[in-house]
């Protein structure tokens, strides 16, 4: 089968592409614009790993450029689409909201339009735990209202879910949104907590813990996320809710950890003490995230397998190797 993956040079996109080609049953076309939001060298290093495989091809392009993306899409004629490309980052969305509007809203529209013209068997797209905002109760379940996101990033991801539902209703596209919960692991993004913390500990620079380190996060190992993506991909909605072939699932670990304890675990694995700086809450941050997995487990049997202790050990091994610590 042929699978088109946007955001292929990104953290989750790289791991999804690698797993797909490893099945030896897929031809994978990766699309990425290699944005300089974070290190392009890291993105190229991921692509270099994928280039070693036989069934992976890559096109550098911005999916938000509608005509160019439509041309790529129509050339490949994919059976499945995994849309992971996006402008990521909660805090950066307070500084540059226009980048989120371009990529996450306008870009998603271009992807939907290409798929409307030639529907794939299934379109999966990345949403986020950030859609849960003020008033959400832990564990976060998909049937809770998600109409008060506390970050603009979360607002754009919620808009993706509403756009997807409308296209499923109007045009019969088969879609599934996946709300990812704090993904970590080898090849992780440098703007995310594990790399930021590991660098601060290794370099002896202050490690900033907002909300005095009391925030809780549902860290989910990237291999578990990929397991969920592939399971959902191959099982489109069989009995659409209200006749609309669109659904949303959480993909998380369901075991949140306090950020102070997370920092201590990294200290132990890196063999160095952190210089911790306790700070007030950061605008746009959520106090706690925790995924209810009942719905996705019932639908496709998703269950995370990698405990945080093991996942962090694997992450630190990669971190030391890649950053030559």
Would you please indicate which residues are annotated as catalytic (active-site) residues?
Answer: 153
Cβ contact 293:227 at 8 Å: no
Structure tokens at 102: 């371009």
Strands (DSSP E) found in 135-205: 175-180, 183-184
Q: Which of 117, 126, 30 is nearest to 66 (CA)?
A: 117
Cα torsion 13, 19, 21, 26: sign: negative
Residue 31 CB: number of other CB atoms within 10 A? 27
255: left (phi over 0), alpha (psi -120 to 50) or beta: beta
CA distance 317 to 183: 17
CA distance 278 to 259: 11
Helices and strands in the chain: count of H runs, count of E runs = 11, 13
Structure tokens at 182: 């704090």
CA distance 164 to 69: 18
Residue 144 host element (H or E): none
Residue 318 host element (H or E): helix 308-322
CA distance 140 to 217: 12
């Amino acid at each position: 089968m042929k699978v088109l993956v946007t955001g292929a040079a990104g953290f989750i996109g790289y791991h999804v592409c690698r797993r797909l080609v490893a099945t030896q049953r897929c031809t994978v076309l990766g699309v990425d614009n290699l944005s300089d939001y974070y290190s392009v060298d890291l993105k190229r290093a991921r692509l270099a790993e994928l280039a070693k495989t036989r069934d992976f091809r890559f096109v550098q392009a911005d999916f938000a450029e509608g005509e160019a993306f439509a041309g790529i899409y129509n050339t490949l004629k994919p059976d499945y689409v995994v849309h992971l490309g996006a402008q990521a980052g909660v805090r950066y969305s307070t500084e540059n909201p226009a980048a989120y509007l371009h990529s996450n809203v306008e870009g998603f529209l271009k992807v939907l339009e290409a798929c409307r013209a030639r529907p794939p068997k299934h379109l999966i797209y990345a949403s986020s735990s950030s859609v849960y905002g003020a008033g959400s109760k832990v564990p976060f379940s998909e049937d809770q209202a998600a109409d008060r996101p506390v970050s603009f990033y979360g607002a754009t991801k919620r808009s993706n879910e509403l756009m997807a539902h409308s296209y499923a209703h109007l045009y019969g596209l088969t879609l599934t949104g996946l709300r990812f919960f704090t993904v970590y692991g080898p090849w992780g993004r440098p703007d995310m907590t594990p790399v930021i913390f590991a660098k601060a500990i290794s370099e002896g620079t202050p490690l900033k813990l907002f909300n005095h380190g009391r925030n809780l996060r549902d860290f989910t190992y990237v291999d578990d996320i990929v397991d969920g993506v592939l399971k959902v991909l191959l099982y489109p909605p069989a009995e659409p809710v209200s006749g609309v072939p669109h659904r949303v699932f959480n993909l998380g670990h369901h075991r949140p950890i306090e950020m102070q304890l997370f920092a201590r675990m990294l200290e132990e694995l890196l063999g160095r003490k952190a210089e911790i700086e306790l700070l007030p809450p950061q605008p746009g941050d959520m106090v706690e995230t925790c995924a209810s997995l009942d719905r996705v487990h019932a639908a496709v049997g998703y269950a995370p397998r990698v405990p945080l202790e093991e996942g962090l050990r694997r992450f630190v091994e990669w971190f030391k190797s890649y950053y030559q610590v």
